[in-house]
């Protein structure tokens, strides 16, 4: 027998032309600056004042000397402001590095290796953390290589444009754009900064081994009719019949294309083969990925829901799956929170609304759900549908992450918004705190209810460049009830009973330290507002709420002298694969002493 040689299929590698020395040098400078600032904030390092360099007002020179494990001595020099909450506002342009007395390029992976005796990343986790840093650098270089809108252009842009223009990711985490699992072509197709349309895949999922949960007033059939055209549903049913299957035995589950390619058709190959999971085809609608990557917004039909899918990439301390177990009660939890928010006159006055997660679906027929111990494999086949924001005429919406955004020229969105509003900066900040801080304080004091209100989880509503309202989202996975107050059975899993001091951390850690210290640094650095004036307005907001609601029984004291210093990077450094135990968030936290409260009573 003669064998005929078959030419291999041509391989067309992505050129990765964003990975140039110039773009990477800029990415390194950005990330090394952030690493030094956040590691100093978390008291992992202690830069010393360089008294040989004269001060420039409140900007001082600092030096950090590190004796690396490989025997080299590295020295970092920079200028910075020291602000409240031990925030280091480092001038990135001033940052220099020497190794053994000679100038050396900035390199965040080198920095982590130099710091390893202090960071103490577990040896088996260190390569993965270094990989997440490399991927974060690549993402930053990709953004720099693409034309980006200026802050001035973003001031009047729509939600999707602002969303795709964000450059920073989470302001506290250093390795915040890991996305381990995305190839370079997939990054260009699915990352939010790529701003490319995505068509979801849909699976038929056997009813006997799956579940759907819907919110109040919504049925499974109504959901499908809302999200899928008649012709699409007919085509899906025909596909099932062509395979000899009964459409009545299946429900419909949206899947990210990456998840099908890398997980479902491989990790769940037996489930696909026995027709428990059936690929039905693409959606007619196109979507755009949001900052969370796995949440996608319908571009063609804004009346249809956001879709949040499981995407089993490793990013910022977690595999980004969705648990079918959690999905069972997600709509009920959202309905319960909405029953509080929608009937509360204080929250209505603040302009706060929820983006409810209205329905969820999960598949549990796989072998992984029959193992003795839970695993990440149990969170790979699930999805949920979330409401999209509805605005009044003349209103705009942006992710709250925009307030910490600087464009390629270094201009800050928050600064530009203040100036475009025509308001005194004090009045602008007061308006923002009314729609963001005050409702969170109210929910905590009135209901023992805590959100995870970082920039990605809040959508601001704007009129004439002034915040006039806010949408809170990611309710099912990230809210907590912090007391033993009565709850419906379906809501019980969000309960975490803690004392008043720890309740206050829902504001101190997640709002003061996670958002406001960064916003204060932007406004102070840009000369918009003095730091004391910023925190005086925060105190005023807290006191005004207390004065308006003196009868609330809460013992939470947000004007206490100090609070526990909860450290997010320490969590990721301890275990970059599984940062916290979601069933015991309180017990998973790492503290580094206490921080002085910038709004403590004088």
Helix and strand tally (H, E) in the chain? 24, 25
Quick one: average pLDDT of 432-457?
97
Residue with more model confidence, 585 or 534:
534
Determine contact, residues 286/294, Cβ cutoff 8 Å: no
Element (H, E) at 269: helix 269-273
Q: Which residues contact 68 (CB under 8 A, 6 or more apart)?
A: 74, 113, 114
Residue for token pair 């003095």: 530
Write the CB contacts of 27 (distance below 8 Å, at least 6 apart in sequence).
Answer: 137, 138, 140, 141, 144
pLDDT reading at 13 higher than 80? no
Query: Does the predicted model carry a pTM greater than 0.85?
Result: yes
pLDDT at 581 > cutoff 70 = no
Domains in the chain, ordered, with CATH? 21-146 (3.30.310.280), 197-327+355-386 (no CATH), 396-596 (1.10.510.40)
Sign of torsion, CA 113 170 287 272? positive
Spatial distance between the Cα atoms of 238 and 135, rounded to a whole number of angstroms:
42
At residue 400, does pLDDT exceed 80? yes
**pLDDT tops 80 at residue 3:** no
pLDDT, tens digit (0-9, with 9 covering 90-100), for 156-203 = 999 999 999 998 778 999 999 888 999 999 999 999 999 999 999 999
The CA dihedral of 108, 113, 119, 125, to the nearest 10 degrees, is: 100
Q: pLDDT tens, 259-316?
A: 999 999 999 999 999 999 999 999 899 999 998 889 999 999 999 999 999 999 988 7
Q: Taking residues 364-371, what's their average pLDDT?
A: 97
- Locus of tokens 């992984």: 368
> Average model confidence (pLDDT) for the chain?
94
Whether residue 391 has pLDDT greater than 60? yes
pLDDT of amino acid 178: 81
Query: Residue 16: how many CB atoms within 10 A of its CB?
Result: 15
What confidence tier does 602 reach under pLDDT thresholds 50, 70, 90?
A: confident
pLDDT at residue number 140: 94
| C-alpha dihedral (163, 169, 170, 173), degrees to nearest 10 | 170
Alpha-carbon distances of 216 from 72, 92, 223, 305, 481, rounded to whole Å = 63, 51, 12, 16, 21
Reference 119, options 155, 74, 66, 196; nearest CA is 66
Mean local confidence (pLDDT), 317-331: 90
pLDDT tens digits, 449-491? 999 999 999 999 999 999 999 999 999 989 999 999 999 999 9
């Amino acid at each position: 027998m003669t064998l005929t040689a078959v030419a291999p299929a041509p391989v067309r590698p992505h050129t990765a032309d964003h990975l140039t020395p110039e773009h990477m040098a800029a990415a390194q400078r950005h990330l090394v600056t952030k690493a030094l600032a956040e590691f100093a904030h978390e008291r992992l390092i202690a830069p010393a004042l360089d008294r040989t360099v004269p001060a420039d007002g409140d900007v001082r020179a600092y030096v950090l000397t590190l004796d690396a494990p490989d025997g080299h001595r590295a020295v970092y020099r920079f200028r910075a402001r020291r602000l409240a909450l031990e925030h280091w506002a480092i001038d990135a342009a001033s940052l220099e590095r020497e190794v053994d007395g000679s100038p050396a390029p900035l390199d965040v992976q080198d920095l982590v290796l130099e710091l390893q005796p202090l960071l103490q990343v577990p040896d088996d986790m260190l390569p993965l953390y270094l990989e997440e840093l490399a991927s974060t650098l690549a993402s930053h270089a990709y953004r720099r290589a693409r034309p980006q809108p200026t802050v001035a252009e973003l001031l009047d842009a729509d939600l999707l444009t602002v969303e795709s223009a964000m450059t920073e990711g989470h302001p506290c985490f250093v390795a915040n754009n890991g996305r381990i699992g995305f190839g370079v072509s997939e990054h260009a197709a699915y990352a939010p900064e790529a701003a490319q349309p995505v068509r979801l895949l849909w699976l038929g999922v056997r009813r006997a081994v799956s579940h759907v949960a819907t919110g109040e007033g919504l049925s499974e059939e109504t959901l499908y009719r809302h999200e899928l055209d008649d012709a699409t549903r007919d085509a899906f049913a025909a596909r099932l019949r062509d395979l000899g299957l009964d459409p009545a035995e299946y429900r419909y589950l949206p899947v990210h294309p990456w998840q099908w390619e890398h997980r479902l058709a491989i990790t769940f190959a037996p489930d696909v083969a026995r027709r428990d999971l059936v690929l039905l085809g693409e959606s007619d609608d196109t979507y755009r990925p949001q900052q969370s990557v796995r949440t996608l917004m319908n571009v063609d039909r804004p009346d249809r829901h956001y879709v949040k899918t499981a995407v089993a990439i490793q990013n910022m301390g977690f595999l980004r799956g969705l648990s079918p177990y959690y999905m069972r009660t997600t709509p009920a939890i959202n309905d319960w929170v909405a029953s509080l928010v929608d009937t509360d006159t204080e929250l209505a006055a603040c302009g706060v609304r929820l983006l409810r997660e209205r329905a969820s679906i999960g598949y549990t027929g796989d072998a992984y759900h029959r193992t003795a111990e839970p695993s990440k494999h149990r969170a790979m086949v699930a999805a949920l549908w979330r409401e999209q924001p509805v605005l009044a005429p003349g209103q705009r919406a942006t992710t709250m992450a925009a307030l910490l955004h600087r464009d390629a020229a270094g201009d800050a969105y928050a600064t530009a918004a203040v100036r475009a509003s025509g308001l005194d900066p004090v009045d602008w900040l007061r308006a923002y705190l009314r729609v963001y801080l005050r409702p969170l304080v109210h929910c905590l004091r009135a209901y023992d209810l805590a959100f995870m209100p970082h920039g990605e989880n809040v959508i601001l509503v704007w009129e004439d460049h002034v915040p006039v309202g806010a949408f809170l989202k990611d309710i099912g996975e990230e809210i907590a009830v912090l007391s033993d107050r009565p709850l419906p059975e379906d809501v019980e899993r969000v309960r975490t009973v803690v004392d008043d001091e720890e309740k206050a951390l829902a504001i101190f850690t997640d709002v003061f330290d996670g958002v406001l210290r960064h916003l204060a640094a932007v406004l102070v650095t840009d000369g918009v507002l003095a730091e004391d004036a910023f925190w005086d307005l925060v105190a005023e907001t807290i006191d005004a709420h207390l004065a308006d609601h003196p009868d609330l029984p809460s013992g939470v004291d947000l004007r206490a002298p100090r609070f526990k210093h909860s450290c997010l990077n320490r969590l990721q450094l301890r275990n970059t694969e599984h940062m916290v135990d979601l069933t015991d968030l309180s017990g998973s936290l790492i503290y580094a002493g206490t921080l002085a409260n910038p709004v403590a009573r004088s």
